[in-house]
Amino acid sequence: MSSRHPDGDWADRGKPRGAPKHDVFIVTRRTDAKPRDVDLYRLINDNGEYKTAPEPVPSDGEEYRSVLNLAGNGNDEPDCGPAIATLPLHPDPSATSACTCYLINTENLKYPSVWISEEFSDPPGGFNANGEVGADSFELVIASPSGDVYHLQAANGRSDMTKIDLSEEVDIWQELRNGCVAGRVRYRDRIVPIVSVDALSPVRGGGKENLHVVL
């Protein structure tokens, strides 16, 4: 995303598309705020290192509006949008930028989950979770590296997967094109977790980018 240069003009930070190091945007909810009333911070990558604390992004600026549009998948549904995204390379109007960044949207992360509530050796749903373990059933929208998207429905050890017609699911198309790695999306009449397999696949050629962020 573009960033306000010291001279007051909108300019990139000298990191072209495809650069190996990226800044990180972090979306957090304001205290006692209504849904989508959030703060946005930018963690600046200075030549491969994150040296300073995250900088607040002014809520009245273009950068705030552009990133929040991506974080909310361009809509006002508080339960939809990416939890983690790689802001896109394609020249979409809402994502036009001279460089790319990572996005961490805490609004779309559930914390704690049943998998981290217990002691390490204990199964989910024990004492610390107060018995709040979920049912053995779930849905998932899966974007394959081929460009196809599938709906997985599983219950009690059995599963069924069907291909999704993206011409009928604009929200899914939009969220994936906006760089979603994992998050939530509206599928038909409900909100379903979504994951992009290609975004989580091993990097071709063995090259890796190290991202070490402690918030």
pLDDT tens, 66-81? 888 888 755 566 688 9
Q: Would you say residue 161 has pLDDT above 90? A: yes
Question: Between 48 and 181, whose confidence is greater?
Answer: 181
Q: Which of 111, 145, 174 is the last residue of a domain?
A: 111
Residue 85, in any domain of the structure:
yes
Indicate if 102 and 159 belong to the same structural domain: no
Indicate if 14 and 104 belong to the same structural domain: yes
Highest mean pLDDT among 43-52, 63-72, 169-178: 169-178
Task: Give the mean pLDDT of 25-48.
Answer: 78
Q: What is the DSSP string of the chain?
A: --EE-TTSSEE--S--TT-S--EEEEEEEPTTPPTT-EEEEEE-EETTEE-SPPEEPPTTSHHHHHHHHHHTTTSS-TT-EEEEEE---S--GGG--SS-EEEEEGGG--SS-TTTSS-TTSPTTSTTTTT-PPPSEEEEEEE-TTS-EEEEEEETTEEEEEE--GGG-HHHHHHHHTTEEEEEEEETTEEEEEEEHHHHSPPGGG---------
Q: Which of 111, 146, 178 is the last residue of a domain?
A: 111
Residue 119, in any domain of the structure:
no
Number of domains in the chain: 2
Indicate if 107 and 141 belong to the same structural domain: no
Q: Give the structural domain span for 148.
A: 137-199
Q: How many CB atoms lie within 10 A of CB 89?
A: 13
Indicate if 76 and 151 belong to the same structural domain: no
Indicate if 98 and 10 belong to the same structural domain: yes
Indicate if 11 and 104 belong to the same structural domain: yes
Indicate if 106 and 171 belong to the same structural domain: no
What does pTM read for this prediction? 0.76
Residue 41, in any domain of the structure:
yes
Indicate if 45 and 84 belong to the same structural domain: yes
Q: What is the pLDDT of residue 14?
A: 42
Indicate if 155 and 94 belong to the same structural domain: no
Indicate if 102 and 144 belong to the same structural domain: no
* The two structure tokens encoding residue 169: 């699911």
Indicate if 144 and 72 belong to the same structural domain: no
Q: Which of 66, 93, 111 is the last residue of a domain?
A: 111
Q: What is the pLDDT of residue 92?
A: 52
Indicate if 193 and 154 belong to the same structural domain: yes
